[in-house]
Structures are given as structure tokens and as C-alpha cells.
Structure 1
């Protein structure tokens, strides 16, 4: 009687093992085996991290193996099981791999195809075609779109983390409990002693050091020491948390009437302001999007304020970026003066603080939340709905979707919801953050997610003009390496552009992203179809880069740049000054966040800057969804290029007091998971 040797691997994460009954059925092109219980006498099967082998006898010729069916039935109590893969050794001695990498919950079953990736037009077997169709029908019922707030990207239809499909939940929900993590951060940072004085102001700048004593971080300490200086203020536009606002100024906006006489004392090259603009030495940061956004009013005892400033920046002969002029509103006039470096020290300082606070709001809500978290969730939901596990693009993208839907659901549950943690400390809490998201959606385009295009659209692409824009330089290297890897994989499975056009599943994927995820907004110009391998390569590069490098660049520096409260105030308690000469140390301290909000802010930026346990970094693919040698070779080449980039970045950072490492590949997680 012919026999097959079946090997089953159980996951190594917490609670992956099971005591339930596990059955297997081998489905061939000709016949099926009998349903067989996988059990060894006097042996505890399917323990966490175990690899178990069994003999399955058959009485008929099954033909070519098409799929295996795994069933789990309850033994005593509900006991979920995580199956990594199944390997079958045929009577002829061949080995067939069946990747799984999913949970079986309750009395459940899963049908697995062998590990070779296939496009839908490649399927010839009736059973295989039916399996593909059945899988997608189930996924579309399970992964449903839902509008969290009008006018922003759609999200998953789940109100709480524990309502999500088990396969996309965190292994340990405690690891991503924002309330628990923030409380732990506040305790670890020894700032809980100040929480009882929630609404009281600090005494002076030195007083802020009382919640800074536990920080052992070179960059944050350097920020604390130099935050008042113009060079530090300007440097952050290039390599801080939010290095995407600065743009080349080719013409002064009418709403920002800076004259040469105002700034001539700051210009180094014996040129007029107009000539400096023509020479490409003037830059602009405009926070117009904050205009008319409602400030947080959830606490009637504490008024909070927002501004929509503009900041003119100057590139010195030493290639430093320095602030040249600041206007704290969008409408020029007597009550909206232009602050200058030549003004009194407190006038200039409070103007810079207002810019830093506005930059914080744009960073948190638009650069970070919208343009990495929410966009990546859209790609993830559409992937689950439209691409079966056997599709090569599913196999390519699944590591870069890991935990993204879970972290976003947790954020909507605890962080950015009504009365959530966001409301406790942020000036845009209480609904202002939703207004910001809705306004930002009007400028979010597909091309703005293409890293080189976004850099160029702001006039920031020339390295010789700004040789210290490390965010740009490192990002371009990682983008090119990622795009090269994606191109290799695309060309393995698509031998022509016509094959892309004939792939109904990939076309459904991009259509789902545009039509539902991005709510079919015409201005966004998200593709509704893909016609060439080059277009597909670019699209998938956008997905991977957004979830990995772009998120890393704007997330993991939060503790470095925002933990010194005066450098990144999460709220302001006094309105922007309407005239010069009124600012003093008292006004500045009373404008900055109070003790309680400072503590919540510090706990937040600490928590959000932490890597996950067992983090998987760019190029690491321990779950072998692909089994083909050409793809594994492409992965190896990708890792080699990433290692070279990491070495280059580390060599450049050697000895620097402000090293830039947020785009270093060995610090870039595969996915948005925090």
C-alpha cells in the first residue's frame, strides 16, 4: 500500500501549539486520500515550535498532489493552532511544500496549495481554480471595508483588536496596548510624580529637565543642549522627524512679504534676497494646512491654540539651513508680524517654538498617521481581499503588511478615538486631527508616495545643492534597492506586459485600493489598472517602501527629536503673539505644555519609538512563502544591496554628534507595526 510521509511544523510564537485533533486529507489530480488523524501514541503532538512527521497510507493512486486539507477539531477546550507549513514526501520520493503561516481557530479547516506561486491565468486544474475562487470569496467576507471618518482612507471593518481575523492580530495584545504602554513609559521615565500636578506650568526651561533625567540618548541630549540655536532649528527640516515639509522657494508668496531689508544682515553672499532666491539658496516651510483647524477644547479648564505659520530658510555658504523669517499666520498685517533673527531673543524664540509645534502636528497626523499607517492599511486590506495566498504578489507583500491592520485598529480603539490618549496631550485632539486628515487627503496623490517624485516635487533632488539632506540620499538608495528587487520578482512571473494585463487578480487589487480604499478620489490619481511590468514594479515598490523605509524614517526618531518638550510642543496654551516685544520667559513657559500634558507627550514619543519584540527588518523573510530558487536568489541580492547601504551609512555617521540612521536598512522594520 503506497504511503506518504507528512511533516507538519507548528509556530514558535506564544500559544501556537494545540491539543486539539488534527486531520489531514491529501487531494490529488485523480483521487483523494482518506481523512487521517495525525496522532502518535504516547507523544504530545503539535507543541509550540515542534516539527512532527506522520505516515499517511492510501489505497489508490492520487495522481499529482494538488492540495492538502488540514482540519482541527476540539479535544477538550477551545485551543487555537498556528501551522507554519506542511511538507509531503510522495511514494516516489519527491518532496512537496505547502506553506500555511496561519491560525486555525475553533473547529476549522484550511486547504493549502503547494508553495509554487501561480498567476490566475496559469491555473489549468479544475480543483485548483475552484480553490482559488473559494479562498477569495471567504476573504472578501472576512476583510471588509469600513469608513472610520468621512473623507479619509477606508479601514478594516472592526472596532476592536480582538474582533480582527486571528491571522492579522498581534501575537500578544498586551504588547500594543497604548494605555498600558504609555503608563509604563511614564513610570519608567520617572515622570508619574508630576501627574498629580496635571495643569500646572513648569517654572522655567531647566524645570523640563526633571522629566528628562532618565533619558540616555545622545541625540535627545544634544537637542536639549542646542534647541534654541538656529542651526538646530534648521537642521530638523532636513533630517529630523518630519523631513518632508521643506521645499525650494522659487518665488516669495504674496502672503509672506519678506523684504531684503528685513533679512540682509543674515545673508552671507553679498546678494539681495531676490538674487539668493534665483541662486537656489532660499527654502520655505509653509503650514497653511493648519489654518482653520479647530484646537483641542476637550479640557474646559485649559485653552489650547494652533497656528499656521510660514518659515523662510536660508542655505549658508557652509550648507547649513538657518531660519530667516517667520510669520505665524497666513494673512499678513499689523497683527501678524514677521519675526526675524534680529528681533529680541524671546520674540525670535517663541516664533521658532510655534513653528516647531506646528511641525509636530503635521508630522503626527499627516506624515506619520496618514501617509504611512493609513495608506499601508489600504494596501493590506485590498491584498487580502483580492490576492490568494498562491499569488506571487501576495507572497511578496505579506511580510510588509504584518501587524499593520492590527496596530491601526488598536490606535482607533485607544489612541485617536474620541476621548482617546491623543486628546490628553495634543493641540489637535478633540477632532482637529480628523480635520487635518481630511484636508491632507486633498493633496495625497499616488505620485507623492513615489519617493523620488516627492523629493523632486519640492525641488529638493539635487545633492550638490543640499549635501547634508541625508533623508533624501539614504531614502533614494533604499528605494532603488527595493525597486530592483521588486523588478526581479515581477520579471520571474510575468514574461510580458500582456501577462500583467491578463492578471485579473492584480487588476482587482489595484482597483480595490483606488475605488474603495482611497474612496475613488480623482485628484489622488491612484491607478485603476496596470498595463506594464514597469507600472506593476513601481506600484509594488510604493507599497513596500511606504510600509518600511518611509515609516521608519518618520517614526523611530520621535524620541530623539520630540522628547525635549520645548523643541516639539504637542500643544500651546497661549495664542501666537500678535506683536513684537511682548514675549518673555514667562509667556513662553505659560505657552508650553503643562506638567501633565508634557508627561503624556513624553510617554507617547517613547512608546511610539520602540521596536517590536523579534522585529523583522527589511530583507528578512523567515516565513518562506516563496519556494522557488530564482526568488530566493533575488532576496539574497536584495539583502546584499541593503547591507552595502547600511555599511555606507554607518561609515558616514562615524564620529557625528547628530548621526542619521533612520533610513539605515538594518533599522528599517518590514512593516508598519508600531
Structure 2
């Protein structure tokens, strides 16, 4: 009697094991096996991290094994189970891998295809086609679009993290509890002693050091020591938290009444203002233009206001909208339109890991009405919503293409601007990702027509534009892809945005924003309308009070931490792909990333102000914090 050896691997995360009954059915091209209970007498099967083997005997040959059906039934109480993979050894010596990497919850079944990725047009049997269709039908019921606010990208239809499909939840919800994490951060930073003086002002700048002393690091301490300097003010627009705003100015706006005479003392190269230019303010007496030649405190407060404004744009537009929310759109569309057997699903899944979960948790606790965001930020109470809505009107697909975005801002010349490390490192990582994606696309798409004929990839792209981005005409997201080159660019954008771009604008928050006068989250006094009226007291009273300063510190510390057991760019421990050419492409990808990291490390050695946010060994695979 023929016998198939089945090996089942249980995940290593907390609560991955189960005491429930596990049944398996092998589906062959000729017939199916009997529904078999996988159980060994006197053994406690399916423990966390376990790899268990079983023999399934059949009366007749099953033919080619096409599917594996797994069923979980309650033993004494519902007990979720995380299955990593299943392998089947046939009576004829064939060894077939069935990647799973998903949770089985309640009394539900999971049907697996073998690990070879296939495009929809390459599936010929009715069983295979039906499996793809049923999987997507189930996913589209579980992953539904919902508008959180008008004018926003669409998000997942779930009010709380606990309502999400189990496969995209965090392993431990406590790990992403913003209230818990911020409170823990405030305690660890030893600033809770100031919380009882919530609305009182600080005495002077030295007073801020009292809450800063426990959290200094190389960059944050350098910022504290040099934040007043014009060099530091300008440098942050290149390599700080928000390096995407600065652009080359080729002409002065009509409503910007600055002449050469006004700024000639600040022009250091002996050029006129007009020569330097080849470098929503209404002019008037109550809107003075502040200059480095003005009184020390006038100029300092003007720079503080710019830094505070930049902080809000960074948090709400650069960070929230253009990494978190857009990555969630890609993730939802991927689950809705690409089955697990599709090569693009296998490619993108690691890069949307926990993204929908972190965004849902943020909507639940952080950026909701009366959420933690309101405790410290001047744009709380709805201002952050308006900023996103306004920014969506100029948000385009091409702005996510890193080289084009750099060029569009006139920042692509290394000769004119030699120390723009965000640009240099970003281009290196972009090229590495593009090369990797090209290798993967070449394995599965032999010509442009293959892309055009892939109805699932076309549905994915259309879902992103028509539903995720609500079909806004001005966003210019493609509704279809016609060439392999377009597909490569599209997938590179998804991966780069979720990994490198998020890393560049997220993990420096602690470095650049922990010294509060450098990035105030709120300003308590209006900007001055006359010159010569600002003193130190006015500046300190403009800055956040003690309580909001403490919440701000907790926030930037918590948001700058890597996840426990973080997976960095190029790390793919879950083997969704089984094909050798893909694994070779992954090895080459890691080699290219290692070369980039080596260059970054060499440049940073000995520098008091290193730039390492785009070093691949510090770029997580996905938006997960």
C-alpha cells in the first residue's frame, strides 16, 4: 500500500503551538487521500517550534500531488496554530514543499499549493484555477477597503487591531500598544518627574537639558550643542528627519520681496542674489522677513518656527502619508488581488509585514480624535488630517520613484551639492532593489506581453489606483502595466517606500527631535509681527511646556526603536519561494546591499555627524513601527 511521508513545521513565535486536532488531505491529479488525523499516541504534537512527521497510507496512487488541505478542529477550547510549512515525500521519492506561514484559527481549513510560483495564465488544470479563484474570494471578504477620512488614501476596514485577520496581526499586541510604549519610554527616560508640572514653562534652554541628560547619543548631543548655528539649521534639510523638502530654487516667487541688498551680508561667495538663484507668505509690515543680520533672538526664533513647521510636515506628510498610508494601500490591494502562488505576492509579502497592523493601531490610539498625537502636537485636534488632505492634492505616483523625485527637486547634482547623503545612499539602495526586482521579474515574465496577460497583476495595480487612491486624477497612479520595465519600477517603488524611504524618515526622529528647541512639536505663542521685540523669555514661553515636552520625548524615542527580532532589507527567513534561481537572486541582492553598507560605514567612520539611516543593515523590510 503506497505511503506518503508528511512533515509539518510549527512556528517559533509565542502561542504558535496548538492542542487542537489537525487533519490533512492530499489532493492528487488522480484522486484524494482519506482525511487523516495527524497525531502520535503519547506525544504532544504541534508544539511551538516543533517539526513532526507522519505517514499517510493510500489505497491507490494519487497521481501528481496538487494541493494539501489542512483542517483544525477544536479539542477543548479554540487554540490558534501557526503552520510554517509542510513537505510531502511521495512513494516514488519526490519531495514537494508547501510553504504556509499563516495562522489557522477557529475550525477553518487552509489549502496549500506547492512552493513553485505561477502566473495565472500558466495554470492549466481546473483544480489550480479554482484554488486561485476561491482564495481571492475569501481574501476580498476579509480585506475590505474603508475611508478613514475624506481625501485620504483608503485603509483597512477594521476599527481595532483585534479585528484584523490573524495573519496580519502583531504576534503580541502589547508590543505595539502606543499608550504602554510611550509611558514606558517616559519612565525609561526619567522624565516622569516633570509630568506633574504639565502646563508649566521651562525656565531657559538649560532647563531642557534636565530631561535630555538620560537620552543623549552621538547625534542628539551634537544637535544640542550646535542647534543654534545656521550650519546645523541648513544641514538638517539635507540629512535630517525630513530630507525631501529642500529643492533648487531657480527664481524668486512674486510674493517674496527679497532683494540683493537685503541679504548681501549673508551671501558668502561674492555672487549677487540673482546669480545665486541659478539658487503662502503675504508681504507686509506685519510679516517681516527675518535675516541672519537681525537681532540674535529674532533670527533664532524665526529658525525655531521653521523647524517646528518642518516637524509637522515631516510627521504628517513625509512619514504618515508617504510611507505608512501608501504602504498600507499596496498591502491591502496585494491581499485582495494576488493569491499566495503568485510570484509578486511572494516577493512583496515581507515588505508589508505588520504595516496594516501598525496603521490600525495608530488609528486606534495615536492619530485618532483625542489620541496620543493630540497630547504634544500643535497639529493635533484635526490639523494633521487637514495636512494630509491638502498634501494628497499634489501627491503623485512619480514622487515615489526615488531618482525622479530627487531630479524633480533639482537635487541630483553631486558637484553642486556634494554632501547630500540621503540622495547618495538612497540612489545606491534604489539601484540594488531595482536589480533584485529585475532578476525576479525576468524569472517569471519572458516578455512584455506576459505582463499584459497577467490578469491578477493588472487587477492589483488597478485596485491600488481606483480604490486605494480613490481614482484621484491628479495622483497619476497607473491603472495598468504594459511592459516588464513598468512592472520593475512599480515593484521597486513598493519595496523601496516600505523599507528604505520609511527608514530614512523614521529612525532619525530620536536623533534630531529629542532636543526639543530644535524640533518643537507645538508653539505656544504666535510668531512676532515686529522685529526687535523678542527676548529669551519670549522664546522659552513659545516652546512646549513641560508636560508636552515629556510626551514628545516619549514619542520620538518609541518611534525610533526597531521591532524585536527585526528583519532587515534582504532578509527572507520565511521561504515562500522554493525555486533555485530566486534564491540565487536573493543572495546577489544581499551582496549588493552589503557593498552599500560597507561604503556607508567607511564614509561615517570618525565623523561627529554620521549618516546611517540608509545603510541596508539598518533598513527594516517593512513599515512596522
Show CA shifts across 1:419-449 (max 9, x none): 0000111000000000000000011100000
Q: Secondary structure at 2:215's aligned position in 1?
A: coil
Residue of structure 1 in register with 2:211 after alignment: 211
Residue of structure 2 in register with 1:525 after alignment: 476
Residue of structure 1 in register with 2:570 after alignment: 619
Residue of structure 2 in register with 1:476 after alignment: 427
Which of the numbers 547, 552, 567 marks the counterpart of 2:518? 567
Q: Give 1:216 deviation, angstroms.
A: 3.5
Residue correspondence of structure 1 range 240-255 to structure 2 within 5 A: 240-255=240-255
Structure 2 residue 26 is matched with structure 1 residue 33: no
Structure 2 residue 175 is matched with structure 1 residue 175: yes
Residue of structure 2 in register with 1:311 after alignment: none
Q: Secondary structure at 2:269's aligned position in 1?
A: coil
Cα distance in 2 for partners of 1:451, 1:600 equals 33
Residue of structure 1 in register with 2:509 after alignment: 558
Q: Give 1:375 deviation, angstroms.
A: 0.2
Show CA shifts across 1:483-541 (max 9, x none): 11001100100001001000000000000000000000011100000000000000000
Residue of structure 2 in register with 1:81 after alignment: 81
Q: Secondary structure at 1:100's aligned position in 2?
A: strand
Residue of structure 2 in register with 1:639 after alignment: 590
Cα distance in 2 for partners of 1:418, 1:638 equals 43
Cα distance in 2 for partners of 1:275, 1:673 equals 45
Q: Give 1:194 deviation, angstroms.
A: 0.7
Structure 2, unmatched stretches of 5+, are none
Cα distance in 2 for partners of 1:149, 1:640 equals 43
Cα distance in 2 for partners of 1:247, 1:552 equals 21
Residue of structure 2 in register with 1:361 after alignment: 312
Cα distance in 2 for partners of 1:229, 1:275 equals 25
Q: Secondary structure at 2:477's aligned position in 1?
A: coil
Residue correspondence of structure 1 range 85-124 to structure 2 within 5 A: 85-124=85-124
Show CA shifts across 1:321-356 (max 9, x none): xxxxxxxxx111110001000001000000000000
Show CA shifts across 1:152-183 (max 9, x none): 10000000000000000000000000000000
Cα distance in 2 for partners of 1:646, 1:505 equals 36
Show CA shifts across 1:259-313 (max 9, x none): 11111112122211111212xxx3xxxxx5xxxxxxxxxxxxxxxxxxxxxxxxx
Residue correspondence of structure 1 range 283-432 to structure 2 within 5 A: 288=280, 330-432=281-383
Cα distance in 1 for partners of 2:270, 2:26 equals 81
Q: Secondary structure at 1:170's aligned position in 2?
A: coil
Show CA shifts across 1:11-34 (max 9, x none): 000000001000100000110000
Q: CA RMSD in A?
A: 0.6
Structure 1, unmatched stretches of 5+, are 283-287, 289-329
Residue correspondence of structure 1 range 120-135 to structure 2 within 5 A: 120-135=120-135
Residue of structure 2 in register with 1:238 after alignment: 238
Q: Give 1:255 deviation, angstroms.
A: 1.6
Residue correspondence of structure 1 range 150-169 to structure 2 within 5 A: 150-169=150-169
Q: Secondary structure at 1:339's aligned position in 2?
A: coil
Cα distance in 1 for partners of 2:438, 2:534 equals 56
Residue of structure 2 in register with 1:327 after alignment: none
- Under a length normalisation based on structure 2, what TM-score does the superposition of the two structures give? 1.00
Cα distance in 1 for partners of 2:291, 2:410 equals 25
Cα distance in 2 for partners of 1:61, 1:363 equals 62
Q: Secondary structure at 1:7's aligned position in 2?
A: strand
Which of the numbers 651, 654, 666 marks the counterpart of 2:602? 651
Cα distance in 1 for partners of 2:393, 2:277 equals 29
- Under a length normalisation based on structure 1, what TM-score does the superposition of the two structures give? 0.92
Show CA shifts across 1:608-663 (max 9, x none): 00000000000000000000000001000000000000000000000000000000
Cα distance in 2 for partners of 1:637, 1:604 equals 37
Q: Give 1:357 deviation, angstroms.
A: 0.1
Cα distance in 1 for partners of 2:276, 2:371 equals 47
Q: Secondary structure at 2:213's aligned position in 1?
A: coil
Cα distance in 2 for partners of 1:152, 1:216 equals 37
Residue correspondence of structure 1 range 256-275 to structure 2 within 5 A: 256-275=256-275
Residue of structure 2 in register with 1:187 after alignment: 187
Moved over 6 A (4+): none
